A = this chain, B = another copy of it.
Amino acid sequence: MAISVTCIAPVNIAIVKYCKHWSGGKRDDDLILPINDSISVTLSTDHLRTKTTITASPELTKNVLRLNGVEESFENPRIQRCLLEVQKKAKSSGKCPKPEMLEWKIRVESENNFPTAAGLASSAAGYACFVYTLATLYGIEDEELSGIARMGSGSACRSLHSGYVQWVMGEREDGADSLAVQVAPATAWPNMHVLILVVNDRKKATASTQGMSTSVKTSELLKHRAEKCVPQRIEQLKKAIAEHDFETFGRIAMTDSNQFHGVCLDTYPPCFYMNDVSRQIVRLVHEINNMAGFIKVAYSFDAGPNACLFLLEKDVVEVSAIVRRAFPFNHCQEADYYKGIPNDEAAMAAVPEKVLNTFSVEEPNQLRYIIHTKVGEGPRRVE
């Protein structure tokens, strides 16, 4: 009698960052509403993805949740909320092929192919995958689901779409218009590549939810950012995406990342996500761009020390060679250090020593590994 569905969902990285609305405000904290629009890039599920299997069965006596092989409590109010909202939508849509299954308990098994809680947006991919898989199980995967995923983890709403995605903050008190919409598909700008530099870090100093809600409570700069800085960046970034203007895209990515982390610092107590290795990466990127005389590569940091570098296909070989030179390693095999899209090793070996020698070499093993990936598709069912 059991019915089972498996789906995957992507990670996304915000180019213009989201900050959560303060719970003391008018709009409900449980709804996870932002104080400004954000725009993200969905990364390819070929390299980073959550995979979730949900089984509904009349024989289950309780809901079960397993994350990366470890049983977790289903009592989490955000999980409960998402489950309830998807079931409500399935009922009202009348699309569920087997309506009685809406009353059955479920078993959820979810796993990431990347480190959980390492600032790689695992909760975004996780909640997006949970909501999408559940919706697929109930036959409503074509409905608007981003508002439900948002109630799991704010930025999860953006992981429901492919390519370049805007989370419109909305105006309604009930959050019904705070939804993610696609700005452009992944295919619209096919030569956009991404290098993720995963920093060797013991653990996150501050959980991001905690960090962000502190920010809104105490930062005097955050409101100014949300009201004055972000709206014009959103418009400039949408134009840059439409026109394939990498210079503007890269400049906004870097300035917004820096402003976000600056605002995180302007809290009490302050909230730090970047560390000394993050700063070495920032310095390297600016050196590469200064040398080029234009923006060849841009960084963005989310709620952790790892860097997401954006660059065009034509520059992947040179930038990868520089990054490899600057961040040597001996703590693992080459195949475990360079992940994702295979680079053209012959072309990389041909990058002149003169270019590589310009950059200072950091201590070995500052990075755990490097993932070469691209902008990619949204969630989908797999078998």
- Once A220-B229, A221-B225, A275-B276 are accepted as A-B contacts, the answer to whether A205 and B262 lie under 8 Å apart by CB is no
Assembly CA distance A229 to B276 (angstroms): 29
Assembly CA distance A261 to B267 (angstroms): 11
User: Is there contact, CB below 8 Å, between A258 and B254?
Assistant: no
Interface of A is mostly: helix
Q: Mark A268-308, 1 if CB is under 8 A from B, else 0.
A: 11101001100100110010000000000000000000000
Assembly CA distance A179 to B268 (angstroms): 31
Give the residues in chain B near A270, CB-CB below 8 Å.
Answer: 258, 262, 282
A266 interface residue, CB < 8 Å from B? yes
A98 interface residue, CB < 8 Å from B? no
Give the residues in chain B near A238, CB-CB below 8 Å.
Answer: none
Chain B nearest CB, measured from A132 CB (Å): 35
Give the residues in chain B near A275, CB-CB below 8 Å.
Answer: 276, 279
Which residues of A215-267 have CB atoms within 8 Å of chain B's CB atoms?
Answer: 218-221, 224-225, 228-229, 251, 254-255, 258-259, 261-267
User: Is there contact, CB below 8 Å, between B258 and A265?
Assistant: yes
- Once A269-B286, A275-B276, A282-B270 are accepted as A-B contacts, the answer to whether A259 and B221 lie under 8 Å apart by CB is yes
Give the residues in chain B near A218, CB-CB below 8 Å.
Answer: 255
Give the residues in chain B near A220, CB-CB below 8 Å.
Answer: 224-225, 228-229, 259
Assembly CA distance A270 to B224 (angstroms): 19
- Once A259-B220, A276-B276 are accepted as A-B contacts, the answer to whether A268 and B282 lie under 8 Å apart by CB is no
Chain B nearest CB, measured from A267 CB (Å): 7
User: Is there contact, CB below 8 Å, between A221 and B262?
Assistant: yes
Give the residues in chain B near A225, CB-CB below 8 Å.
Answer: 220-221
Assembly CA distance A267 to B218 (angstroms): 21
Chain B nearest CB, measured from A15 CB (Å): 15
Give the residues in chain B near A251, CB-CB below 8 Å.
Answer: 268
Assembly CA distance A164 to B283 (angstroms): 37
Can you name the residue of chain B whose Cβ is closest to the Cβ of A218?
A: B255
User: Is there contact, CB below 8 Å, between A265 and B262?
Assistant: yes
Can you name the residue of chain B whose Cβ is closest to the Cβ of A280?
A: B205
User: Is there contact, CB below 8 Å, between A279 and B272?
Assistant: yes
Query: Chain A: residues with CB nearer than 8 A to chain B?
Result: 205, 218-221, 224-225, 228-229, 251, 254-255, 258-259, 261-270, 272, 275-276, 279, 282-283, 286
